[in-house]
Structure 1
Amino acid sequence: MIGLIAHTEKTEAAEQVRAMIGALQEKKVGFLLEKSTAEIAGILSDLDERALARQCDLLVVMGGDGTILRVVHKIGEDIKPIFGINIGSLGFLTCAAATEIPRAVESITRKDYILSQRSLLLTELISSGGKIRKMYGLNDVVISRGERSQLVKLRVKIDGAELTDYNADGLIIATPTGSTAYSLSAGGPILMPDSGGFVITPICPHVLTNRSTVVSDRSIITSELIVAEHSVFVTVDGQGNHAMHLGDTLRISQSDRRLPLVMLPEKLFPEVLRQKLKWSGSNV
């Protein structure tokens, strides 16, 4: 059973959802729709993302990277393979364009695709009183100064050993999947999906030698504020905004869960990079 979820606020979403439904019906593929997706297609459904994931073997997500990230957060522990169809802008996580719906459906019916097992972050925000807030992320954890005009000072440790004190606008801890998102914009490196690392990237650091650092995904990364007057906000994959104060600890490790992300055989990650970043070969 296929579950269909779309970014319903996209102007072309209704048209593309109807095209997807038509292609699935033509191939006699069973499907269910998330309730807001069903609404724009003129169909009734009372299923939210999590209920849909529980009943389906594969989720087709029509939107951009942000849509996929929101779906990952909403399905929680009910993780299912995600087949992304891009009706957004950049789309590093999607494997087909809206113009390729027939190819997408053919791939689904024949199971002619590859599952790229993507690492998930487990983020634990531990208050000074011992209360723990757990969050899971596919892309990154961002520690930011919010609306403050001053830099913040963050102490970072790797497996208990002190790395450095960052005096910066904030800090990004990204998975290989998230290395092409905010971390890349802040000057971080691109990691291959199966590279087995995390990348720590400071945002506008005061010390120019503070550069991105790649660490093993088996490591535990901790961060703490070291100036009493400072306060920051923690965001996971752009979802939520949680205050972090002096005495709190942010603990980041690899989750024991992974997201199976669909990739087409003709569009493996190096090809996606080349296309999305408009790279070309040498003429020499």
Structure 2
Amino acid sequence: MSTNASSGRPLIGINCDFRAADRLKPGFVFLAEGYFQSIINAGGIPVVMPPMEDADAVARVLDVVDGFLMIGGGDLDPRNDGFMLHSSVRPMDRKREQSDRMLIAELAERRIPLLAIGTGMQLLNVQQGGNLFLHIPEDLPEAVPHSDYQDPFHRHTLEIVSDSLIGRVFGDGEIRVSSKHHMAIDEVAPGFRVTARCPDGVIEAIESEMMDWFVVGTQFHPECGAASALEIRIFEEFIEGIVAAQQNTEDIRLVA
């Protein structure tokens, strides 16, 4: 991992969404402004990564970043994890999913600090040994709506675990967050704990319990236009955690 954070603003890698070329338009990558602007506002410097199949190129980028943000997007293809394709699933582009899967494996191997949002959290959970509900209305019929195609800023309430990063961010009182998903975590991967749920039981945040890997995942979208000032604090806590960890490492090196 780089030492940028100990000498200034940390470099935060961000993956991108991808749309393949068709007969009318070239292929292109895109990234919602909320992701990179939230990193900038929190004190980081975004390093935007397009989907790549070159493992050496991915490794070269990860050599210099201090943390990483895995963004949301389309659905993961359950066939890549040995499950059947549900009729509700709208898979993201194959090129992006292949790149994201290689990327998350390398982030885990290197223990690079990670903030994973939406599909990013789902992929993290799957890669680390958990699994997913493929369609909340079918798998959890008593659940409240977690998306509304007529309202991109659909929100629902949240119940949090107080002794967690999410708990520090939100504190006491009623919490409402932006939600737009139909898949969700079922079994949580080993090494992680649930730190927030919707009152209907759907998992909305997980955090690492591993001493050597700083990870926060949110199913809700703290980067979206309807996010509150409290939600934006998630990015600040992430950046502050990276800076603090690297400062501790630098202090230990100086003492040694």
TM interval, shorter chain, is under 0.3
* Higher Cα radius of gyration: 1
More strand by share: 1
Determine which structure has the larger helix proportion and give its number: 2
Normalising by structure 1, report the TM-score.
0.24
